[in-house]
């Protein structure tokens, strides 16, 4: 994204789908990476509740809190001025009541500067999405493997393999579009089903483990950079091995400190 490029807007996402331009999305949790990702022409920065897995070593996303999400979203927003910033609403911040969902989503936008929120679920969430959109809060949906429901789903496994579930997911996607969602993340779906859902909608789909038929793709930043070395699902492509680079750099630093090579005269003040 060039320095003089105008900031992306939420309606641009649908326009990008109509024009056949694939949407590039990555998770992001801080200002430093936000600057780098924006400079690398990433369209959407997703402040995912995956931060508690990536940054805090938790087993699931369920422990993320609203205050955590707002803190990290504000950091990302300060680092990126042209990319869109969407924020996951954490578990139980939008499921209890529509009123609570409005209040919590409003806090996210008000306190972080983000452009919209993302929430998980199909038709049962349509009323909530409509209420948020009616109040000027853009919403991304999320279907397929929904991490906040990982226990109910029996683990992190591909969804929609049988015809009944596939039909339900397509109906869910249409319901979210009708409710006003500006896009839908499709996670861990058979490629043919994700393509079918994408073709049925006018709003864009963004896939993760859902094949090439989606209108865009998202990955967890630390996974694709090789910083989460123990995570190797089939859908993941690593674009760097920064875990190796970090270890090499730190070993070099430690060696210089222990052998008196750092700091040198050039790093010292008279």
Nearest CA to 23 among 33, 15, 34? Answer: 15
CA-derived radius of gyration, the chain: 20
**Sign of the alpha-carbon torsion through 222, 226, 232, 235:** positive
Q: What angle do CA 100, 169, 11 make, to 5 degrees?
A: 60
Q: How far apart are CA 266 and CA 270, in angstroms?
A: 10
**Sign of the alpha-carbon torsion through 142, 143, 147, 149:** positive
Q: How far apart are CA 191 and CA 251, in angstroms?
A: 43
Catalytic option among 111, 187, 229, 241 = 187
Residue 226 φ then ψ, to 5°: 80, 25
Q: Is 38 annotated as catalytic?
A: no
Q: How far apart are CA 138 and CA 81, in angstroms?
A: 18
Cite the active site residues: 187
């Amino acid at each position: 994204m060039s320095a003089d490029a105008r900031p992306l807007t939420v309606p641009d996402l649908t326009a990008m789908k109509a024009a056949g331009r694939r949407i590039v999305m990555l998770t992001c949790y801080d200002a430093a990476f936000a600057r780098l990702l924006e400079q690398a022409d990433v369209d959407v920065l997703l402040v995912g509740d995956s931060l508690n897995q990536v940054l805090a070593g938790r087993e699931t996303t369920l422990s993320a809190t609203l205050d955590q999400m707002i803190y990290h979203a504000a950091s990302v927003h300060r680092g990126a001025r042209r990319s869109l910033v969407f924020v996951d609403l954490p578990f139980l911040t939008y499921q209890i009541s529509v009123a609570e969902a409005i209040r919590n989503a409003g806090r996210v936008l008000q306190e972080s500067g983000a452009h919209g929120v993302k929430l998980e679920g199909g038709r049962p969430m349509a009323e909530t999405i409509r209420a948020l959109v009616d109040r000027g809060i853009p919403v991304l949906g999320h279907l397929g493997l929904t991490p906040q429901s990982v226990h109910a789903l029996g683990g992190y496994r591909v969804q929609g393999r049988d015809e009944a579930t596939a039909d339900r997911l397509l109906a869910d996607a249409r319901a979210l579009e009708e409710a006003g969602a500006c896009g839908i993340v499709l996670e861990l779906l058979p490629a043919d089903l994700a393509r079918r859902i994408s073709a049925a909608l006018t709003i864009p789909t963004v896939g993760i483990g859902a094949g090439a038929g989606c209108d865009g793709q998202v990955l967890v930043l630390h996974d694709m950079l090789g910083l989460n070395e123990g995570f190797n699902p089939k859908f993941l492509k690593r674009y760097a091995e920064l875990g190796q680079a970090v270890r090499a750099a730190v070993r070099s630093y430690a060696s210089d400190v222990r052998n008196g090579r750092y700091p040198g005269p050039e790093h010292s003040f008279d």
